[in-house]
Amino acid sequence: MNSIRCVICDGDEWDRIGAVHAGETRREGTSLQRVEQEFALGACRNCGHVRTIEQYDAAVFSRLYAQESQQPVSWGDLKGADALQPYAEMVELAGGAALKSSAGLIIDVGCGNGPLLVTLAERFDIALPRLLGIDFNRMLPDRFAFRQADLNTTDLMALVEAGTPVDAVMSSHVIEHVLDPRRFLRQLKKLVQHCGGVIYIETPDFSAVDVGRPDVCNLIHPQHINYFTADSLAKLMASVGLLVEHVDTQVTGGIPRLRMRARAASADEPAARLRASLQAGVETRAQIARSLMCAGPVLLWGAGGDLWRMLEEHPQTGALLESGRVRIVDRALAGATIHGQQILSSSDIRNQEGPVILMPAYSGTRRSMINFARSEEFDARLVDLYAQ
């Protein structure tokens, strides 16, 4: 039990809250034998997330899916005869009429026998070449394109031609069935990330299950591995870099349908800033290296990491040290040898000629150097290229 990790918080301690069972009844003559497997449900002690705290292997999956292979969602006591209405609502949330005016693929991951794709084709007039169903078994009408996949292992990107624009990836009542919902969301994200498409996810909302009606819709079922709420699914989405744009819960035929639309979040903000900051350091070291080329004596103050970076990035500066025209100054390392010259102490600066270039990038270090220069009255000779 300990090896099962919470997909929301990575916790590994569970309180058993009950169990569900799957099995079959065998009949021989008049005698019946019931063969059952128990699936315990656990609540994460850390965050409260509920999942089946059993290991699912191939044998368990084949038993669980043998009899009723990936039935479409039963909407329970759906009023009226319009079985496609819930799917039409999904399409509306995923973009509705706007999807028609676009040209990218719309992929149904875990398409079953295709009610969502039928809805897209028949009610939203989406051309068939734009529709693709993905599932373990083909139950989809022949007119739709289909790719076989094990949603626990298949790389979905390999199922579509590289660079194909994808307007929407939709997955209804599937994420609760997969072994690793985080991997599953990452897979969906990869499908839309390059083109700004939307992800539509629907799963039962277990913060809204009608506890007075355990009969309704078979929601607590061994095929369901994770039991999400709006809150836990939003956390999971955020953890893979998805930005949730819409979330609501709508009850249809007794099933509380948690409906979420998300897009790949722009990860540019921190990356772009950090890249620019690192680049600024590179450029300043290049500027320092150039400023050493001037004629006459120069003092380079600070023999820490930034000096070593500069010597590596601009190997020609090593020769300047060897020539003795550029002298290195460092209070702590005074007396040591670098590129054949002895490092001077900062108290020697007053007795040396030439501009004094500050080497450390860290502003706190430069501040204390500037204070020292003021106290020794050579601050007018300082060159701080980081501050320019």
**In the complex, which residues of this chain contact Zn ion (CB under 5 A)?**
6, 8-9, 11, 44, 46-47, 49
What's the rounded Cα separation, in Å, for the pair 199 and 156? 14
Contact 185, 210 (CB under 8 A): no
- Please, which residue, 9 or 311, has the CB nearer to Zn ion? 9
Tokens, residue 1? 């039990």
Find the shortest distance in angstroms from Cβ 227 to Zn ion: 12
Between residues 49 and 366, which has the closer beta carbon with respect to Zn ion?
Answer: 49
Rounded-to-integer distance, Cα 321 and Cα 328, Å: 8
Q: For residue 377, how many C-alpha atoms fall within 13 Å in the half-sphere facing its CB?
A: 1
Q: Which of 87/227 has CB closer to Zn ion?
A: 227
Give me the sign of the Cα torsion angle 94, 95, 99, 103: negative
Comparison of 9 and 334: residue with beta carbon closer to Zn ion: 9
Q: Closest Cα to residue 181, out of 196, 201, 195? A: 201
Which CB atom, from 229 or from 317, has the smaller least distance to Zn ion? Answer: 229
Smallest distance from Zn ion to CB 50, Å: 9
Q: How far is the CB of 78 from Zn ion (least distance, A)?
A: 33
Q: Which is nearer to Zn ion, 44 or 225 (CB)?
A: 44
Find tokens 């705290």 and name the residue: 53
Closest CA to 218 of 21, 42, 370: 21
Strands (E), the chain: 14-28, 31-44, 50-52, 105-109, 131-135, 145-148, 166-172, 198-204, 226-227, 242-252, 255-264, 298-301, 326-329, 337-338, 341-342, 356-358, 382-383
Q: Which residue has the tokens 């044998």?
A: 59
Q: Tokens 């390392």 map to which residue?
A: 333
Residue type, 384: D
Token pair recorded at residue 292: 């050493």
Q: Regarding beta strands 326-329 and 337-338, do their DSSP bridges make them parallel or antiparallel, or are they unpaired?
A: unpaired
Residue from 120, 119, 118, 145 nearest 133 by CA: 145
Residue given tokens 């068939």 in the structure block: 128
What is the DSSP code string of 44-62? ETTT--EEE-S---HHHHH
Which is closer to Zn ion, CB of 1 or CB of 66?
A: 1
Between 231 and 348, whose beta carbon lies closer to Zn ion?
Answer: 231
Residue 49 beta carbon to Zn ion: minimum distance, rounded to whole angstroms: 4
Q: At closest approach, how far in Å is the CB of 191 from Zn ion?
A: 27
* Distance in Å, CB of 9 to Zn ion, minimum: 3
For Zn ion, which is the closer residue by CB, 49 or 327?
A: 49
CA 340 to chain centre: 50
Least Cβ distance, residue 232 to Zn ion (angstroms): 8
Question: Considering the complex, what minimum distance in angstroms separates the CB of residue 192 from Zn ion?
Answer: 27
